[in-house]
Amino acid sequence: MSDGKKNDADVKREDSEEEELPEIEEQLVTKSYTGKFGKSKVAYTATAATQVIERDDDKKAVFFYVAYTKDDADPADRPLIFAFNGGPGSSTVWLHLGLFGPKRVEFDDDGFPVGVPGRLVDNEYSILDVADVVHVDAIGTGLSRGMPKDKEKEYHHFSKDIEAFSQFIVSYLSRNDRWGSPVFLAGESYGTTRGAAVAADLFDKHGLQ
């Protein structure tokens, strides 16, 4: 039976509910490199950054991504690939360090990493000779996070995941003047399901083809 008085737990809970989310400072670091991919020598910029998206209900998310973009390329002629692994629950580390990135983990003939914790070598199979790549971690994986933390699991729902990725891509295209670029999505495992749904969402809501 309650005496109508609030205990300390009730007060703390209300304070927590009324507390505004902290301001999130986006971060971006770039560095220039040159590499040989296929038969082409490519000067490119590596970007590691966080990008904040906001929902209508005031919840926020911070996407972490690593992008590789060719220097002095015409955006209208330069394809742009957004890549993500699946799981669900996996970061994009293996598409980054196992397939698309300029460096890859070295494997032996049986497909196992060489050495512990592993060794990075030049990735001659990277597609940076023909396209730019943005490796994106899903919310709750890698360095991508939902805010507040106790609501992060909402982004694990199919529709919220799709909505968040679409919002990230739209924001990235606007911030980097890439709306004129041919855009592709590359997903691994569950990422293929995400990719199909995100492609439909981008087309239906933003006319992106």
Assess if residue 1 is contained within a domain: no
Predicted confidence (pLDDT) per residue in 3-35, tens digit: 555 565 554 545 445 455 556 789 999 999 999
What stretch of H or E contains 174?
helix 158-175
CB atoms closer than 10 angstroms to residue 160 = 17
Assess if residue 7 is contained within a domain: no
d(CA 99, CA 93) in angstroms, rounded, equals 10
Strand, helix or coil for residue 195 = helix
CB 62 within 8 A of CB 55: no
Q: How many domains does one find in the chain?
A: 1
Which residues are within 8 A (CB) of 71 and not within 5 positions of it... i.e. 6 or more apart?
32, 43, 44, 45
Assess if residue 194 is contained within a domain: yes
Give the pLDDT score at 23. Answer: 65
Look up the domain containing 152 and give its range.
Answer: 24-206
Q: What is the pTM of this model?
A: 0.85
Least confidently predicted of 9-13, 29-33, 89-93, 100-104: 9-13
Give the pLDDT score at 122. Answer: 95
Q: In CATH, what number is assigned to the domain containing residue 155?
A: 3.40.50.1820
Least confidently predicted of 49-63, 67-81, 152-166, 170-184: 49-63
The residues facing 47 across adjacent strands are: 30, 67
